[in-house]
Amino acid sequence: MNKRLLKLLLALTAFLFFNSALWAFDADFEGRLKVGSSFVDSPSFHKDFDSELELRLGLLGNVVEKGDWVLDYELSADAKEADGSSVQSGLRRETDVDFFRAWLRLDNGEFKVRGGRQKILFGSGTIYRPLGIFDTRDVTGVVPETRGVDGVRVTRFPSATSLVEGWLVPAKKNNALIFGMRGEMLLGGIEAGAVFQYHPKSDLEGLPGYKQEMVQLGYHFKGEKGFGFWNESRLDIEMEPSAPIQFDTVLGVDYTFGIGEGLHVLAEYFLTTRQSGFSLSDLKGQRTFQQIGVSLDQPVGIDIQWQVFGLYDLRDKSFQLVPQVEYTLTDTLFLYLHGRVGGALKSGKKDGRLFRKTDVFNGTEHLVGLTLVNYF
């Protein structure tokens, strides 16, 4: 977290706590305990089990209410302990303690200002997110979440069906600032939005780095005409020399069939290209590739819900199947049985994007696991 931002936030939090009588301060405590372990088809000299223990504790509430204005906050942190193949290969830290959310927000219903570690997430895509500029989720994981980013976000609602938003996010290097803005509105039943962002030559922890100074432009829309449909796209333009360097787009549809208690089927087509002229003639498939993502989910009674993700790369013919069953034990306790199976339809292919056979654990291996999540 940006050190100056962290010090300011902690100072404000301490001030508010010690002056709770003056401000009519209130606080609700919440937490989550997550314990899981998976048996992994690991490479030689790697552990067979990949395990994690995570404890999240947080406070949220209002600081003060004056007329239409509310000053509220959220302060939560995670402590994680991991062991297994992912730690051996460096994909995860053995121990990690960090803020999950840490923000203050001033809100009157039509205008909001939020500063601190927060979620900045927008767009229409589900499996693939071209506009997920600050998104760190693994949508096929157990209880997928995006880590927050440190920044300031201002949101204005000109009407009940539109918004305008801007943000500033400190980058890691050279005191650079990422800044952007977006607008959304409802047009004849279609949710539509446009995005602009300036990204310096820098990066953010847990997100892809940028070696060029660039402008990012994007749009998204989503609607329903008997079935759901959406499109989300982003174009990256290098500043010097001024030229487009990457284009990502996703097209998606979904529909709920009247089978059992409702079978929800979702499908997305994803294209990303860094090929000159955005041509699809990249024979090696290193600068341009296309994938199909499918998700099926269905409740079974009131306690069980199953879901299966299927991902397929049209270029290298690799695939991944990720099944998951959620069982509700109590109102706050949930058990997940989950797995992953991968492969390639191309004979002898061992280095696909969705499945790879390597001497070091890479995160695409077959696995089966159990995870217990308790909210309190």
Residue 280 zone, left/alpha/beta (φ > 0; ψ -120 to 50; rest)? alpha
pLDDT of residue 125: 96
For the chain, percent of residues with pLDDT exceeding 70: 88
Q: Two tokens at 212?
A: 């060029």
Higher-pLDDT residue of 349 and 297 is: 297
Q: Return the half-sphere exposure (C-beta side, CA atoms, 13 A cut-off) of residue 64.
A: 10
Kindly tell me if the per-residue pLDDT of 7 is higher than 60: no
> Helix, strand, or coil here: 356?
strand
Kindly tell me if the per-residue pLDDT of 281 is higher than 80: no
What is the C-alpha to C-alpha distance for residues 233 and 222, in angstroms, rounded to an integer?
12
- Ordered DSSP codes for 29-74: EEEEEEEEEEEE-PPTTS-SEEEEEEEEEEEEEEEEEETTEEEEEE
Strand partners, 197: 180, 216
Q: Return the half-sphere exposure (C-beta side, CA atoms, 13 A cut-off) of residue 50.
A: 26
Q: Structural domain boundaries of the chain?
A: 258-376
pLDDT of residue 351: 82
pLDDT of residue 47: 95
Region 117-123: mean pLDDT is: 94
pLDDT of residue 284: 57
Rg value, the chain, Cα: 22
313: number of Cβ within 10 Å: 22
Q: What is the pTM of this model?
A: 0.88
What is the C-alpha to C-alpha distance for residues 142 and 164, in angstroms, rounded to an integer?
33
Place 21 in a pLDDT band, splitting at 50, 70 and 90: very low
Among all chains, which residue has been given the structure tokens 């600050």? 134
> Helix, strand, or coil here: 353?
coil
Q: Two tokens at 261?
A: 């208690």
What is the C-alpha to C-alpha distance for residues 363 and 344, in angstroms, rounded to an integer?
16
Dihedral sign computed on CA atoms, order 134, 206, 349, 39: negative
What is the C-alpha to C-alpha distance for residues 168 and 151, in angstroms, rounded to an integer?
5
Kindly tell me if the per-residue pLDDT of 174 is higher than 70: no
Alpha helices in the chain (DSSP H): 3-18, 20-23, 85-88
Please list the helix, strand and coil fractions of the chain in percent, rounded to the nearest 5, in that order. Answer: 5, 55, 35
Cβ contact 32:332 at 8 Å? no
Kindly tell me if the per-residue pLDDT of 213 is higher than 70: yes
What is the C-alpha to C-alpha distance for residues 99 and 102, in angstroms, rounded to an integer?
7
